[in-house]
Chains A and B, each alone.
Chain A
């Protein structure tokens, strides 16, 4: 009877997914392995965003400021610190994004709802402006190229310039982080965040400092986004101002919303669908952002639960158990 013991039905698809991802380079052409690496990087970005939007109910239009900070720190650090290891570059990015999260969070989180959304957008614009103007460091509009160093860790030597090797590197490290995020949603902090969204007043009267919990979460998701940004820089071996632009925030918003904010893996699905659509559509037409925008609006209007919400409701309808799981989306799990 005890709560939250994993639902056995959900374990098998998980194993199949992990197995499939591990085996992917065996049967996929390199082009698609590369694409899958991009999906993995964006999956982390989207998962971090959904912890903010789906779990805490905080709509931010400024997530790219952390993503971009991570991307730039990695690029700049690798360019200026010879011999810097991949791991250290990533950690530096995370540290910088964490710092940015604490400082901006302290200012932004004085407000909620629309006001918060507006401020995040304004701050994202500030980060963007700094990146554009601070030419000596960021290269301005020209961007920065990134030398992806090889991995030397505990005697293991990996040639990360190899597409497949980098894929496995990203899959394992980012996969572990996403796994931790899943664990996070069950931790004291993860539940606190959800409960604050549900009923902030009661949480205060139960002894929680809801401002602290919001700031901690905001900073945490910022750090995760910074980490994703660092992988992004390593993946493309390039950092441009687009990494820190409002468009990069829009990207993560689209991914997360299309995948569905009501489930943990929804944004991962969203990252996959978005990246594949982007890949296919941008070959066919220059107007793909317009098409993405239209898809987004249609989903806001008709499918607010996103693809994962759609899958859940179809599965329930097929099983004839509609209504039984009415409280599920709020639980924010259910892979």
Chain B
């Protein structure tokens, strides 16, 4: 029974991380209709920056604050000077650009930090264990779950309850109308992209101590995040949440029950969704 609970928690922690990654991806897609292949590369940058900041200051909280900021700036620059430029050439070129960017970032990371795994070590209370109802569990994994809940809540609040969220959603539906209202739509898009990048940077910081920091980490999470989006439905925050939860549990119990096929389970889920409901659980029918 306690083992069962531990695996549920493992699943939840991984779901939290997946949600942190995929929420930014789905935000950018939902708002700007751009599928950002470089999203996971931003996430990896977050992890590496965090590693370096920890080396330098030893303060995890500082890297949690700084990395999203750095990625925010990078995201804004990418949108302003690269993405906007190819927008006129159409969708295909946007995809190619972000794909090329991911490629360059991965190679750059190998160059700067080396092509091997780095260990991110924490200190303080995050490294501890907590006992509850007879279960002993690492604090850090609970902390991840907490972060995911906080980010998810904040995002849905900003998105559905504030003026900014209304403007952003309106900008998607009717570009010119919102432009005519005196709102700078290109600026809004730049900020949305930057926020997406910041979110992935944050996820990278969080992932550092949980997973290994190595140049393949981007490709690894990208596929899982894509599966989350396919299963949950493109551009849907709620879908991303639900799909993250399902895949987190599948992952946790897959490793427990059918260790060799845990990956296959996730693909099986994706294939079933593709056949039964191609637009995803929360997706709108085309």
Contact = CB atoms under 8 A, between A and B. Distances in A.
Question: Do A and B share a direct contact in the complex (Cβ within 8 angstroms)?
Answer: yes
**Most B CB within 10 A of own CB, among A133, A300, A304:** A300
Contact of A122 (B29, B91, B227): B227
Contacts of B101: 297
Contacts of B97: 297, 300-301
A129 B263 contact: yes
Contacts of A117: 35, 95
Nearest to B82: A301
Contacts of B139: none
Interface in A77-126: 107, 110-111, 113-115, 117-119, 121-122, 125-126
A122 B104 contact: no
B226 interface: yes
A59 B219 contact: no
Interface residues of A, number: 32
Interface in B1-48: 29, 33-35, 37
A53 to B, nearest CB: 8
B223 A122 contact: yes
B278 A110 contact: yes
Contact of B95 (A59, A125, A293): A59
A296 B100 contact: yes
Contact of B223 (A115, A121, A297): A121
Interface in A288-316: 289-290, 293-294, 296-297, 300-301, 304
B230 interface: yes
A290 B230 contact: no
A253 B275 CA distance: 28
SS of B interface (majority): helix
A57 interface: yes
A289 B274 CA distance: 34
Contact of B104 (A113, A115, A133, A290): A290
A59 B89 CA distance: 14
Contact of B219 (A57, A125, A301): A125
A290 B93 CA distance: 19
A287 B274 CA distance: 39
Contacts of B229: 118
A293 B100 contact: yes
Given A121-B223, A250-B103, A297-B101, A126 B95 contact: no
Contacts of A297: 82, 97, 100-101, 104
Interface in B212-234: 219, 222-223, 226-227, 229-230, 234
A72 interface: no
A177 B101 CA distance: 34
Contacts of B108: 290
B272 to A, nearest CB: 10
B260 interface: yes
Interface of A: 57, 59, 61, 107, 110-111, 113-115, 117-119, 121-122, 125-126, 129, 133, 246, 250, 253, 257, 287, 289-290, 293-294, 296-297, 300-301, 304
The 3 closest A-B pairs by CB, nearest first: A114-B35, A290-B107, A293-B104
Given A126-B267, A290-B104, 12 more contacts: A111-B278, A114-B95, A115-B35, A115-B234, A121-B37, A122-B226, A122-B267, A246-B219, A287-B111, A293-B103, A293-B107, A297-B104
11 contacts: A57-B92, A114-B29, A122-B226, A125-B219, A126-B263, A250-B99, A253-B96, A287-B107, A289-B103, A297-B97, A300-B100
Interface of B: 29, 33-35, 37, 82, 85-86, 89, 91-93, 95-97, 99-101, 103-104, 107-108, 111, 219, 222-223, 226-227, 229-230, 234, 260, 263, 267, 270-271, 274-275, 278
